[in-house]
Chains A and B, each alone.
Chain A
């Protein structure tokens, strides 16, 4: 599914709306995981708005494509997307993190419509995604399963158990991403626990690895197309180099914005930054799109 310029521009528009809604949700909630939310947002936007086969009026449709957001703390970006799609009322975002809200930092799959797995405890998502994908094989269904991991999360050993399982069972109906924003709570990933050579690690575990700019919509689309066309018996892992806090320059690539709060002044400043980001994104799409 090659990306037309019109489609690219439309995806940029959607990503821009969702960045704003993520910022708003963080502001309403008082604080949130905005850094990792914004780094993964372009990937989420592309998957839900270009590729995934879902029915908003039938959220439990058994043939739907699934997405397991293993980095569950990105709920502050995922909830706006699911509300915007119509799975949940957008007004719920104003209650994000509040007592008795259906939505908190880590989204509950039994409370928030459209969430395929309750994640948050890191290192769980890839196994769940492998199980979801294997179930399609047993049930003779052709849905696809997407999984998005955080890079810091890859310190958890359970991911590598799951990686072995995905490769061993040749789970090619699973398409995985790592949101490689190179930041974690206590610092840069390479300072806290070295992950490199990261792509080599996934390759040696039996994946076909595609490294991309995960905040470039065209590259994300090309990577998914690549995975769709995969005829080998190896699963695809897309290592998406991203920027934590992507779109708001004063928080970008700063691990201290793993979890943060915006006062009125910062909130207004961030909105101006998002305007600039959108302008640049549109210019790039206009220039590079076909």
Chain B
């Protein structure tokens, strides 16, 4: 068993999302001697133990000191290494926010932050360990590319793409096992390009992270029960966001729902709203996520249900939004 593994991987489909990251990191480590890994006493939790075992001279555990880890990584990156820093999202985005902002992003160094246990995925740990503002923080820092993969395969793709693109990255992944969205790695992952995971013309659900699978389930259900054609966009890149896909959805479906495991202020919903408003294309709009509140303690799937970002919550939101009526004329006074 690898150094940091807390459970044994049987095959690729049974790997947790973080284990996909661990796998990507070791693949990168084997191919590129300049790749180093850092953690702040979370090697086990972030699944980078295998890297530690294979490359002990390129692995640095700085103890419970996230600010230090970010500074150390910035120094390493400027000297020519490619550091991958792993810690929980809440600490990556808040505890070390100044270092993320200044040491990594202002200096525009080639360092990759892997922020695990994102959203409410560490449900039982409560709000001290829920990362519900990290997207708002990360996407407002210049130079930072912000990714939020939907499952393990996408996490692998995101980590590889981050290595292949110069600059600071913030990759937000969940604790534990994500529902598997993709069959394999080959679906055309590209930074900044939304993936249409379900075609539709009546309404678009724009989702990120763990909400994408839920949105897909909702779309499949609604097609059967309500005859609705629900388009589902996987926005794995929060920044730079795919403006084209969003505007296309606003024009073609005129109804948009966003779904994210995050506060509705500042995250995906806000990012999509900015694009829609700036485009001048009006549409019905609903943001699902934490409604500017802290989440309860509990299992991740229970919390997702309580805050309405599971398939059930998305189904209800779609039905509600479908009640809004639109006309094709230019008279806005009689619109909803």
Contacts and interface: CB of A to CB of B under 8 A. Distances in A.
A binds B: yes
A25 interface: no
B101 to A, nearest CB: 8
Contacts of B108: 110
B124 interface: no
A138 interface: yes
B73 interface: yes
Interface string B75-113: 111111101000000000000001100110011100000
A132 B73 CA distance: 8
Interface string A137-180: 11100000100000000000110011011001100000000000
B319 to A, nearest CB: 49
A131 B73 contact: yes
A158 B68 contact: yes
Given A135-B81, A165-B62, A121 B68 contact: no
A34 interface: no
Contacts of B83: 131
A124 B73 contact: no
B60 A116 contact: no
Given A124-B99, A139-B81, A134 B76 contact: yes
B282 interface: no
B227 interface: no
Interface in A97-145: 108-110, 116-118, 120-121, 123-139, 145
Contacts of A165: 62-63, 65, 68, 72
A130 B62 CA distance: 11
Nearest to B102: A121
A44 interface: no
Contacts of B69: 127
Chain B, interface residues (CB within 8 Å), range: 20 to 34
Contact of A138 (B62, B63, B73, B81): B81
Contacts of B34: 138-139
A118 B72 contact: no
B94 to A, nearest CB: 14
Given A127-B67, A162-B71, A139 B80 contact: yes
Contacts of A110: 107-108
A162 B68 contact: yes
Highest count of chain B CB atoms <10 Å: which of A118, A128, A135, A138: A128
Contacts of A157: 67
A62 B34 CA distance: 14
A123 to B, nearest CB: 8
B335 interface: no
A79 interface: no
Contact of A68 (B63, B75, B77, B106): B75
Contacts of B15: none
A164 B65 contact: yes
Contact of B76 (A125, A126, A131, A168): A131
B74 interface: yes
Given A161-B65, A164-B65, A134 B107 contact: no
B57 interface: yes
Interface in A221-273: none
Given A116-B78, A161-B62, A164-B63, A134 B72 contact: yes
Given A128-B71, A161-B67, 7 more contacts: A109-B78, A116-B78, A118-B103, A130-B72, A132-B75, A138-B57, A139-B81
6 contacts: A127-B68, A131-B72, A138-B81, A139-B81, A162-B72, A169-B60
